[in-house]
Amino acid sequence: MIAHSLDTTCAGLTPEGNGLGGRSPRILVVEDERIVALDLKAILRHLGYCLAGLTSSGTEAVEMCDSLRPDLVLMDIFLTGEMDGVEAACVIQRECNIPVIYLTAHTDKVTLQRAKRTAPYGYVLKPVDEDWLRTAVEVALFKHRTEQELRRSEQRYRQLFSGMLNAFLLLSHVPAPAGPGDFQVLEANPAFERMTALAHDAVVGRLLTEVFPGLEPFWLETLCETVRTGRSVRFENFLSARNMYFLAQAYSPAPGQVAVALEDVTERKHGEERLRYRTFHDALTGLPNRALCLDRIARAIERARRRANYVYALLFLDIDRFKLINASLGHLAGDELLRRAADRLRREVRQLDTVARVGGDEFVVLLEEIASPGDALRIVKAIRERLRAPFTVGGRQCYVTASLGVVLGPADYERPEELLQNATIAMGNARAAGSGRVRVFDWSMRERAKRVMDLETDLRLGLDRGEFVLHYQPIFCLRSLATRGVEALVRWRRRDGELVPPGEFIPAAEQSGLIIPLGAHVLAESCRALGRWRRGVLGKAPFFMSVNLSARQFSQPDLVKQIVTALRNEGMAPTDLKLEITESVLMEHPESAMPKLRGLRELGVRIGIDDFGTGYSSLSYLQRFPIDTLKVDRAFVSGMEEHGNRAIVRSVIGLAHSLGYDVVAEGIETAAQLTDLAGLGCDLGQGFHYARPQPEADLLGLLGRMPPGCSC
């Protein structure tokens, strides 16, 4: 059994306006499921509330309320023991005047009817949603503070106005053979007339059900219980006849009579409704937000279970290159574009469908009651075409496309999050195929996404376990065939001995950000290896270690400092290190790349441009960059028998030499390619014809048989 009080010191911001004198609310949790209780504890602390205590017993909850005086109680309705949650709530509210919010996984009418009689301050369904819990707590504290203020106000004015500040009715019970009967109005005060606009003479002497047509039986049952027990009861209800919300306090001043004080809480209820609206709607577009979207999806899943002919579809839409719009036109223009896109989406669907904004530029469309999956795809295409029409944003026309993922229902889904996840996966596949594409989800997409996630997890474990090793491919002089250096290439050998291809794990490392620690490992290990070789087979012979830098590595602001640290730790000469960077990395942000390249050059490190010719380069920038080497991409080398490729290779070699750079050709696989490249004046090369990438031990054997040359 859980039963203990806790330290009330807590971090977090105190919610404003809670009436607690600037401190965080102290909350008692009454829950007999330990996992749920601990989860609630974590959620409350995360929201900035103080946990006053934790118990699984209704009896202990009453005792703790008396001793700890929490500001609010979260009460499980179904508790084991001699006192369940409803009974405990009755005692707590009656004796301690502490607001109670019910926790329950049950929503049946009997349970709710019984719980409702205790006038709880709210309900929170299990499993607990953090946003819903915060809303319920803040509303309950606000309600309780309002009631306390009302009570103090009544006490101040009772002496002057005989306790009749609020609307007041004195009723007489009229029994009936079956049911609670009715109540005759004996008296009504002027405040009641002002509140309801009902004249005194039109009310007194009439039955309550005549004064308020359509009165809920709950009113009569509650008042009848007050007559029977003599206990004061507080309840809240909506009077449809007057379109008003009332907070009622009823007590029995004499046998057969009930006095009811009524407070008009219509404005407060409307405020709560506005708060609830803000909780479940996007402030920018007015569309349902993620929470409400998931609720609508859950309802669609439930309807599909009950009805064999129910067909629905879920669309996940993401605006392509939206960040570019924000960067070029500004965030105000981006917000305007999102609002206009939301309007177009609303106009493309029916009223029964749901359009929601679930992220920055991410929208979800739930199509319900569709005739067939084909109808859904027609709507998808119409949405895509509608979004392709130009938007007028900030006084200028703007063209956008959207990537769409589609899940066609019904299917055997248990949770709305799973359906939304599948639509997101389909959208990711659409985006990978190019801008403005549509992809319909199939389970193979889920398997691929799972493999990528598993691969990222294994990557992290592999880094921790030291499973990544380096292989080295020799770089040789095309004239003398002497080895001039090596390129360090990372390989992943799992614990079971499986060798994972770089083409499989490098993209995953790039996407997950693990390329940064992996790149740091490659840099440190390659510097360490060259230090060993210098002390052994190499001696002082000219030789360099070539290491690739990824885009993410190069974008780090402290890149030069990292290189200095790696060289210093391994005692490696900066001139022995050559860093290879793709031209696309340099040309993406040339102005920010320049200081890093200059810093590396001043350090003595050499710079090579990898895969030259496959991207777009500005010759003016290329001339300004402190570069040592251009590396001809293997695609041009392997296709040199074609006149166009040979001309490109010749042009690259001529351009490099005119700028004072040397040239490395990669992917040399035949003697003919080697001879042709040497004839064109290419300086260095690498490829399977000379040597494949190999472990350190094999490389040292090769260097022993083919010692490094001094020059070409």
Of 412, 441, 470, the last residue of a domain is: 441
- Which burial class, exposed, middle or buried, applies to 163 when counting CB atoms under 10 A from its CB (0-12, 13-18, 19+)? middle
Residues 574 and 522 in one domain: yes
Residues 689 and 547 in one domain: yes
pLDDT at 8: 44
Residues 607 and 696 in one domain: yes
For residue 501, being part of any structural domain is answered with yes
How is 524-576 classified by DSSP, letter by letter?
Answer: HHHHHHHHHHHTTT-TTS--EEEEE--HHHHT-TTHHHHHHHHHHHHT--GGG
- Rounded Cα gap, residues 120 and 85, in angstroms: 11
Q: How many CA atoms lie within 13 A of 311 on its CB side?
A: 10
Point out the residues of the chain with pLDDT beneath 50. 7-9, 11-15, 158-163
Of 135, 157, 179, the last residue of a domain is: 157
Helix (H) or strand (E) holding 581: strand 577-582
Among all chains, which residue has been given the structure tokens 């993620």? 290
- Rounded Cα gap, residues 654 and 656, in angstroms: 6
What is the token pair recorded at 522? 């490659």
- Rounded Cα gap, residues 411 and 304, in angstroms: 8
DSSP state of 92: I
The domain spanning residue 366 has which CATH number?
3.30.70.270
Within 10 A of 499 (CB to CB), how many other CB atoms are there? 10
- Rounded Cα gap, residues 113 and 598, in angstroms: 76
Nearest to 164 by CA among 246, 249, 265, 256: 249
Residues 578 and 650 in one domain: yes
pLDDT at 161: 39
- Residue 100 phi/psi, 5-degree rounding, is -125, 130
For residue 693, being part of any structural domain is answered with yes
The domain spanning residue 101 has which CATH number?
3.40.50.2300
For residue 27, being part of any structural domain is answered with yes
Residues 324 and 397 in one domain: yes
Residues 138 and 34 in one domain: yes
- Rounded Cα gap, residues 385 and 560, in angstroms: 48
For residue 710, being part of any structural domain is answered with no
Residues 33 and 135 in one domain: yes
Residues 194 and 243 in one domain: yes
pLDDT at 213: 85
Classify 414 as helix, strand or coil: coil
- Rounded Cα gap, residues 493 and 695, in angstroms: 12
Classify 387 as helix, strand or coil: helix
CB contact set of 137 (below 8 Å; sequence gap of 6+) = 25, 27, 47, 49, 72, 101
The residue ranges of DSSP E strands in 240-328, in sequence order, are 244-251, 257-264, 313-319
Q: Does the predicted TM-score (pTM) go above 0.75?
A: no
For residue 611, being part of any structural domain is answered with yes
What is the token pair recorded at 637? 């080398």
Residues 490 and 546 in one domain: yes
For residue 698, being part of any structural domain is answered with yes
The residue ranges of DSSP E strands in 144-289, in sequence order, are 167-174, 182-188, 233-239, 244-251, 257-264
Residues 316 and 335 in one domain: yes
Of 227, 248, 272, the last residue of a domain is: 272
pLDDT at 158: 47
Residues 238 and 326 in one domain: no
For residue 279, being part of any structural domain is answered with no
For residue 553, being part of any structural domain is answered with yes
- Rounded Cα gap, residues 550 and 98, in angstroms: 60
Nearest to 568 by CA among 537, 605, 611: 605
- Rounded Cα gap, residues 136 and 129, in angstroms: 10
Nearest to 629 by CA among 480, 523, 475: 475
- Which burial class, exposed, middle or buried, applies to 589 when counting CB atoms under 10 A from its CB (0-12, 13-18, 19+)? exposed
Task: Domain count for the chain, please give it.
Answer: 4
pLDDT in tens, 340-358: 999 999 999 988 999 999 9
Q: Cβ distance 548 to 490 under 8 Å?
A: no
Q: What does DSSP say about strands 396-398 and 391-393: parallel, antiparallel, or unpaired?
A: antiparallel
Amino acid at 269: K
- Rounded Cα gap, residues 668 and 687, in angstroms: 4
The domain spanning residue 570 has which CATH number?
3.20.20.450
Residues 227 and 294 in one domain: no
Q: Which residues span the domain enclosing 426?
A: 285-441
